[in-house]
Amino acid sequence: MAENRYARQTMLSEIGAEGQKKLAAARVVIVGCGGLGSPAAAYLAGAGIGSIRLIDGDRPERTNLHRQVFYTADAAAYKVDQLKAHLERLNPEVKVNAVARHLAAGNARILLQGAHLVLDGTDDAVTKHLLNDACVSLGIPLVYAAAQGYSGYVALFENRPGGIHLRDVYPDPDPAMPDCATAGVLPTAVGIVAMLQANAALCYLLDIGDPPVDRLVTYNALDNSQHRVKLQKTYTAPNVDPWAGVKPSRSRDRLEVEHDTLTPPGYDAVFSMLSEAREPDLPAGVRRLDQRNPFGQCLEQMEDGGKYLLYCNSGKLSLVLAAQLVKERPELEVVSLRGGVAGMGTE
């Protein structure tokens, strides 16, 4: 029975039976079900959030598993499907909807509409800005989070008219911003940031405590330090139309190309960032990058003045790597395959 399941939290005077009713009536959307989104989803489901929608178009990979502890890379199911099954085992009272698609300008309105709160568990700067802009347009509160290396960040934007949002912190997406795959991450660091994000969500929905509304919480796993920074309204440009998509910066335009084949002519070399398990047979002339240090391997193999193409599954990792390489060695001409092999309809 519900009263037994939630007894250890409803006995808290700030929550009680009325607080539990608030959680049961809440509709939460979690975009990105990796190291941030999956543990946050588990704790929100355990707490009794009434409806949770999971949005992620990726399948788990072996390099995810040190921090994404609810998945197996051997299964064919998408992350959202594996996570949905776990949440339903954890708490059958929660309604879980799994959407095995990436958030995009064309689907954001319908996927976010009606949510009381959205959690950002994505690891791509452009997607984070798209999600922010959509939540601003719809007036949906957003719990932002990011983690890499030994540290992470959490902030809660209520997205009231004229209020503070992500663009007051990061005005535009930076294609050179690294993610976990390129910068690395301590698994406990991303897990703790996920808990901070879930905690902010619960406190906000219950209207208790002091969640980080218009504040940026920073966390460092090496000394367990936290800092709260009050954010100021600095973004004065007109709100971006999310339904038109986040416009890539000019630098990103120069870093991405589209091709019908993975071995187009005109390049000194083409590099794959896919693992041998995902791409056992390389196309002719393509070199495989070591997943442990693709940046260093590229610097060793690329010559100044050369022209190179990078590709991965989604186009995200290859874009970040291309931006980092050009920033380190401007003499290189390095581009990323837009949309990756998934965008070509291949695996």
110: Cβ contacts below 8 Å, ≥ 6 apart: none
Residue 29 parent element (H or E): strand 27-31
Q: Helices marked H in 146-186 — which ranges?
A: 180-183
Q: Whose structure tokens read 């209520």?
A: 158
Q: What is the token pair recorded at 185?
A: 């991450």
- Cβ atoms 144, 176 nearer than 8 A: no
Q: Beta strand pairing status for 256-257 and 333-337?
A: parallel
Contact 85, 129 (CB under 8 A): no
User: 276 — phi, psi (to 5°)?
Assistant: -65, -30
Half-sphere exposure at residue 15, Cβ-oriented, CA atoms within 13 angstroms: 18
Report how far residue 23's alpha carbon sits from residue 247's, in angstroms, rounded to the nearest whole number: 36
Angle between helix 316-328 and helix 294-301 axes, rounded to 10 deg? 50
Q: Is 203 annotated in the active site? A: no
Task: Catalytic residue, from 33, 135, 180, 312: name it.
Answer: 180
Q: Which two tokens stand for residue 21?
A: 């009713």
Residues annotated as part of the active site? 180
